[in-house]
Structure 1
Amino acid sequence: MQHSWSRYLRIILIGLAVTTMIGAYLGEPLYGLLVGLAAYLGWTLVQSRRLYNWLSNPSASAEAPQSVGLWGETFDKLQKLHQSHLLTEDRLRAQINRVQESTNAMRDGVIMTNAQGSLEWWNGAAEHLLGFRRSTDQGQYIYNLIRTPAFKAYFEARDYRDPLELHSPSRPHLRLQIQISLFGDNDRLIVAKDVTRLYQLEQMRRDFVGNVSHEMRTPLTVISGYLETLVDHADELPKKWQRAIHTMADQSSRMEALITDLILLSRIETGEQTADDALTDVEALIQQICSDARALSGDKQHSINVEVTDHRLLRGDESQLRSAFSNLVFNAVKYTPAGGRITVSWSADREGAHLSVKDTGLGIDPIHIPRLTERFYRADPSRHKETGGTGLGLAIVKHVLINHDGSLDIRSEIGKGSEFICHFPKVRLVERQETHEEV
């Protein structure tokens, strides 16, 4: 390129020298030089005009103007760049079309919005699941089309670790699971899955458990009543029946506890018993539960200590909180050897409030911890047989905490005891003075 420029410069200088010599021959060398410069300037302006006209018509069929010299080489290089650009554009357009075709083939709805929530693109499944229309909804804010407060709060929270479930705005019989991912400059990629069948199956399971539990309670109450009568008069029965009667009574009590837990869990899950905005005195609640735990300990003589460093009230359902806290404390009593130590503490920090139940029991193998809150999951089935556990206690705790925007943290090691920590958000803490003012 440097060589070509030098050659073109020499040609220009030679041309000017020729015009100057012609002018000198005519007695006006300066005029000859000016004429040469004017001719070159005019030719340059013509070529510039041709370049401008070509750049103003960037169609694929328009070819670069033909010229000679520096301008000819410039036109040739621009033509090559233009063709390369067209090829790249075609390749990118083909890739975009392929991506759009593949996403349109998906059964899940895929939506792209900018940081403010303005709709930029969506696939065909999104039109079916959410009722979007390309003719009118392009550029609309998505939370104006999905008019659910929970969705707008989820969209703006920017905490997308867990998906959101809601009913379709255009087809209320559909249950959708929404998952959002951030990309680019805080733009959103939203995936909507149809989980209606799973939701219906889960609802059927809950209804089945709740209905069966209610239906079983009445005949079991009758059986338990007769067994209690037989136990009270066991001395009048033949000795070979006495052991059987006592065993039946114990198992009947265990069945009653199981049904009670099933009904409670079913109510919490189905929303029949939801967390209200009442104020709970956690300190007094813990003291009551620990008093009952000492009675449950009996001859085992556990050392049960209470430590309270925060005296604010907790906004939530007291009956649910009682069920959750008592499950943790009573479990510590059941699974801690005689003479062991149990510490129940209530504290708060910048993150929120925390209830800790720590024992000096045998501990739990960490491999079981992720599944402890599953219904009927038993890390050690033999221990449940000895203690009469239903396997639903920690499941109840988990769902109570979900209703109170909380979470459960389990720490345990074999031979070093266990610690169960309930975390509550800071917004649920209320000063006691505020309580008196409200009352």
Structure 2
Amino acid sequence: MKKNWQSHIHRIFISLAILVIIGLIAGSVSWVLVLGLGAYLVWTLIQAIKLHQWLYSPGNKTTPPESHGLWGDLFDGIHTLQKNHNSAQNRLKTMINRVQESANALNDAVIMTDARGAMEWWNKSATYYLGFVQRSDHGQPIYNLIRTPVFKTYFEQKNYDEPIELSSPAKPHITLRFRITLFGEDDRLIIAQDITRVHNLEQMRKDFVSNVSHELRTPLTVISGYLETLSGSSDALSPVWKRALNTMSDQTGRMEQLITDLLLLAKFETIDQRQTQKEISIHSLLTTIKSDAIALSGKQHHRINLTESTNGLFIGDENQLRSAFSNIIFNAVKYTPTEGNIDIHWWFDGDGVHLSVKDSGDGFDPIHIPRLTERFYRADPSRHKETGGSGLGLAIVKHVLRNHDGELEVKSNLGLGSEFICHFPKSRYIEHPPRSNTIRPQTDR
């Protein structure tokens, strides 16, 4: 039975008193105390040996040694702590096993690594998709097993906002999407998802659009040629036929523009960036686009202002940037009322280099902003019918910016106009000695 420390001290004093009484009766108190304390010391050593054997022997530790008094309470207390520890350890093992079983049941590959990338655990799907071997790969850096420079760069940069897509090192016909999450002291939880089917469907879509666009271009060219021939002799036709020819010519032109945009979009999705990017002058590019925008404005007399706060060079694909910037600026011209303002601003700051195109048009509800860059999405279909838009312009802009490590920011409100801002990283900008004449805002009416 468990006793408190006061009762043990009380028993010690009673034992000492009994020894003193026996010593008085025997006529030698000191010898009796020595013999009694010696016997107690021997008994204490025996109990300590029992404790040592119980704690460190490889045998059964479930039952504590038999004893009484202070040592008996000590054995019982250690045994209780041992049972509580084993119970907590078993609960923790059960929980870990359940987590591992749940992770093993996932179709996605799950890998845990430390801050240096050494692999600590992975599920069965990781073994299947990535070819990991439990005995030899445990503790190995993961980028030694996924031997792709892109993955190693992605792993070390600690910027995991966007996933990456790579072929499986064990099964090259499988495409995996990798997502990494930081936890603990920069440990990593890596999830690889099989997106082969989605990847193949996307490739089929690209091939279909490209092939159909090419196939449609030839018959449309023939139709357009015959319509142009008929329009040349329209004086001999009745007004009904003239109106029909004009309508067919307009619709043929819209279809040709749609096919051109589809082919351009397919090209930008598959182009090899390393072969097309070089140092270009944004000043010359924007000046040319501005002249084209003035011509497009025509009798609407928009006030188009171009302001450049930097004159450095830009590393990129000039044809792609021309297409993207033209789409944004021409859209501003199309959707801005007569004599409206269009402000074009190119500048550099600590965050990178930027292009802003702001108009004084009708604007649109901000609810449409997240979907503006989707193919054929139209915030106001009636406006596109008036302007003949294909719905692919901003999709082209999105892919161009993605090819140049940039992103598109859109601001708009009904009745307050719109602003489209292209943000590019500083790594794309090259400082250039200032020209002899200071760049000033250019305004044309």
Short-chain TM bin? over 0.9
User: Residues of 2 paired with 1:41 and 1:298: CA distance?
Assistant: 112
- Once the two structures are superposed, residues 290-319 of structure 1 have per-residue CA deviations (whole angstroms, 9 ceiling, x without a partner) of 110000000000000011111111111111
Residue in structure 2 matched with residue 425 of structure 1 by the alignment: 425
Residue in structure 2 matched with residue 95 of structure 1 by the alignment: 95
> Which moves more between the two structures, 95-104 or 330-339?
95-104
- Once the two structures are superposed, residues 117-143 of structure 1 have per-residue CA deviations (whole angstroms, 9 ceiling, x without a partner) of 111111101111111111211111111
SS at match of 2:100: helix
Residue in structure 2 matched with residue 241 of structure 1 by the alignment: 241
* Distance verdict in 2 for CA 1:427–1:204, change over 3 Å: same
Q: Contact (CA 8 Å) 2:273, 2:403: kept in 1 or not?
A: no
Q: Contact (CA 8 Å) 1:224, 1:249: kept in 2 or not?
A: yes
Q: Contact (CA 8 Å) 1:175, 1:194: kept in 2 or not?
A: yes
Residue in structure 1 matched with residue 374 of structure 2 by the alignment: 374
Q: Contact (CA 8 Å) 1:274, 1:403: kept in 2 or not?
A: no
SS at match of 1:268: helix
RMSD (Å) for aligned C-alpha atoms: 1.9
Counterparts of 1:196-207 in structure 2, within 5 Å, are: 196-207=196-207
The percent identity for this pair of structures is: 56
Residue in structure 1 matched with residue 64 of structure 2 by the alignment: 64
SS at match of 2:415: coil
Residue in structure 2 matched with residue 281 of structure 1 by the alignment: 281
AA matched with 1:6: Q
- Once the two structures are superposed, residues 251-299 of structure 1 have per-residue CA deviations (whole angstroms, 9 ceiling, x without a partner) of 1111111111100100111236677330121122111101100000000
Residue 233 of structure 1 deviates from its aligned partner by 2.6
Q: Contact (CA 8 Å) 1:17, 1:33: kept in 2 or not?
A: no
Residue in structure 2 matched with residue 7 of structure 1 by the alignment: 7
Residue in structure 1 matched with residue 175 of structure 2 by the alignment: 175
Q: Contact (CA 8 Å) 1:342, 1:360: kept in 2 or not?
A: yes
Query: Structure 2 length as normaliser, TM-score?
Result: 0.93
User: Residues of 2 paired with 1:394 and 1:237: CA distance?
Assistant: 41
Q: Contact (CA 8 Å) 1:274, 1:317: kept in 2 or not?
A: no
SS at match of 1:304: strand
Counterparts of 1:85-234 in structure 2, within 5 Å, are: 85-234=85-234
- Once the two structures are superposed, residues 63-115 of structure 1 have per-residue CA deviations (whole angstroms, 9 ceiling, x without a partner) of 21111001101111211221222222222222222221221111111111111
Q: Contact (CA 8 Å) 2:55, 2:61: kept in 1 or not?
A: no
Residue in structure 2 matched with residue 304 of structure 1 by the alignment: 304
AA matched with 2:174: L
User: Residues of 2 paired with 1:89 and 1:384: CA distance?
Assistant: 67
Residue in structure 2 matched with residue 260 of structure 1 by the alignment: 260
User: Residues of 2 paired with 1:272 and 1:279: CA distance?
Assistant: 16
> Which moves more between the two structures, 366-375 or 53-62?
53-62
Residue in structure 2 matched with residue 362 of structure 1 by the alignment: 362
1:318 aligns with 2:318: yes
Note the residue ranges of structure 1 that are not aligned, 5 or more in a row: 435-439
AA matched with 1:153: T
Residue 164 of structure 1 deviates from its aligned partner by 1.3
Note the residue ranges of structure 2 that are not aligned, 5 or more in a row: 435-445
User: Residues of 1 paired with 2:108 and 2:408: CA distance?
Assistant: 32
AA matched with 1:132: F
Counterparts of 1:18-57 in structure 2, within 5 Å, are: 18-57=18-57
Residue in structure 2 matched with residue 437 of structure 1 by the alignment: none
Residue 23 of structure 1 deviates from its aligned partner by 4.0
SS at match of 1:135: helix
AA matched with 2:320: Q
Q: Contact (CA 8 Å) 2:277, 2:318: kept in 1 or not?
A: no
User: Residues of 2 paired with 1:9 and 1:114: CA distance?
Assistant: 53
User: Residues of 2 paired with 1:51 and 1:275: CA distance?
Assistant: 77
User: Residues of 1 paired with 2:361 and 2:274: CA distance?
Assistant: 33
AA matched with 2:338: A
1:406 aligns with 2:406: yes
Q: Contact (CA 8 Å) 1:275, 1:317: kept in 2 or not?
A: no
Residue in structure 1 matched with residue 78 of structure 2 by the alignment: 78
User: Residues of 1 paired with 2:273 and 2:207: CA distance?
Assistant: 15
User: Residues of 1 paired with 2:275 and 2:70: CA distance?
Assistant: 81
- Once the two structures are superposed, residues 205-253 of structure 1 have per-residue CA deviations (whole angstroms, 9 ceiling, x without a partner) of 0000011111111221122122222223322323221111111111111
User: Residues of 2 paired with 1:306 and 1:314: CA distance?
Assistant: 18
Residue 154 of structure 1 deviates from its aligned partner by 1.3
> Which moves more between the two structures, 296-305 or 50-59?
50-59
Q: Contact (CA 8 Å) 2:54, 2:61: kept in 1 or not?
A: no
Give aligned pairs, total. Answer: 434
User: Residues of 2 paired with 1:345 and 1:38: CA distance?
Assistant: 98
Residue 2 of structure 1 deviates from its aligned partner by 11
SS at match of 2:354: strand
AA matched with 1:267: K
Q: Contact (CA 8 Å) 1:176, 1:196: kept in 2 or not?
A: yes
Q: Contact (CA 8 Å) 1:353, 1:426: kept in 2 or not?
A: yes
